[in-house]
Amino acid sequence: MKHFTNYIERNKSVITGKENLEHLYTFKDFPIFFGCVNNPQEQDLLADMEWAIDSETGVIQLTKLIPLEILYREQHVDAFGKIWEQYYNDFAKYIISRKQPKILEIGGGNGKLALTVTKTAPSVFWTIVEPNPLFQGNNRIKVINNFFDKNFKSDNNFDAVIFSQVMEHAYDPREFLENISGFLKPEGHLIFAYPNLKLWLKNKFTNALNFEHTMFLTDYFVDYLLAKNGFVILNKTTYKDHSFFYDVKFIGEKQPFTLENKYSEYKKLFMNFISYHKNMVEKINKKINESDAPIYLFGAHIFSTFLIVFGLQSAEISAILDNSKLKQGRRLYGTSFIVDSPEILRGKGAVNVILKAGIYDGEIKKDILENINPDVTFW
Dump the DSSP string for 13-65: -TTT--S-EEEEEEEEEEES--SEESS-GGG-EEEEEEEEEETTT--EEESEE
What's the confidence (pLDDT) of residue 80?
62
Please check whether residue 75 lies inside any domain of the structure: no
335 assigned to some structural domain? yes
Same domain, 282 and 361: yes
Q: What is the pLDDT along the chain (379 residues), one digit of tens a residue?
A: 899 999 999 999 999 999 999 999 999 999 999 889 999 999 999 999 999 999 999 999 999 999 998 998 776 565 667 888 999 999 999 999 999 999 999 998 789 999 999 999 999 999 999 988 888 889 899 999 998 988 898 877 899 999 999 999 999 999 999 999 988 888 899 999 999 999 999 999 999 999 999 999 999 999 999 999 999 999 999 999 999 999 999 999 999 999 999 999 999 999 999 999 999 999 999 999 999 999 999 999 999 999 999 999 999 999 999 999 989 999 999 999 999 999 999 999 999 999 999 889 999 999 999 999 999 999 9
Q: pTM value?
A: 0.91
Burial 345-377 (b: 16+ CB within 10 A, else e): beeeeebbbbbbbbbbbeebbeebeeebbeebe
Least Cα distance to 51 among 87, 15, 68, 27 occurs for: 27
> How many C-alpha atoms does 219 have within 13 Å on its Cβ side?
21
In a domain, 121, yes or no: yes
Tell me how many domains the chain contains.
2
**pLDDT (0 to 100) of residue 76:** 58
CA distance 76 to 134: 10
**Domain range for residue 363?**
263-378
Both 199 and 282 in one domain: the answer is no
Residue 102 lies in a domain: yes
What CATH number has the domain bearing residue 267?
3.40.50.720
pLDDT of residue 79: 61
> 86-94 contacts: CB < 8 A, separation 24 or more?
87/193, 87/239, 87/242, 87/243, 88/112, 88/113, 88/116, 89/116, 90/239, 91/164, 91/193, 91/239, 91/245, 92/116, 92/117, 92/120, 94/191, 94/237, 94/245, 94/247
Same domain, 233 and 285: no
For residues 280 and 186, membership in a common domain is answered with: no
The domain boundary, picked from 221, 250, 279, lies at 250
Q: Write down which residue in 198, 221, 250 finishes a domain.
A: 250
| 25 inside domain | no
Residue 9 in any domain: the answer is no
269 is a domain residue: yes
Residue 176 is assigned to a structural domain of this protein? yes
Bridge partners, 26 (sequence order): 50
CATH number of the domain where residue 154 is located: 3.40.50.150
Characterize the bridge pairing of strands 45-54 and 376-378. Answer: unpaired
Secondary structure class of 66 (helix, strand, coil): coil
